Amino acid sequence: MRKLILLCSIAFFFSCSNENEYHEQLNSADQITVNKNETGRGIDSDFDNSFYNHENSPTFIEFNTKTKAFVSKMKFNGNIETIKTKDAMLSWISAHLSATDFSSMNEATQQWAQVENLCRINMNTHMAFFEKIPANRLRFAELVLYESVKDIITNNTTCKDELNACNSDSVDEYTGAMQGALEDYFSGSASSTTTNNRMANARVIYQINLNLCMDQYENCLLR
- The mean pLDDT value for 49-75 works out to 97
State residue 26's pLDDT score. 53
pLDDT digits (tens, 9 = 90+) for 108-165: 999 999 999 999 999 999 999 999 999 999 999 999 999 999 999 889 999 999 999 9
pLDDT digits (tens, 9 = 90+) for 17-51: 444 554 455 554 443 234 443 333 444 489 999 99
State residue 52's pLDDT score. 96
Helix (H, G, I), strand (E, B) or coil at 73: helix
- Distance (Å, rounded) from C-alpha 186 to C-alpha 191? 9
- Does the pTM surpass 0.85? The reply is no
Instruction: Decide: 106 and 97 in contact? Cβ < 8 Å.
Output: no
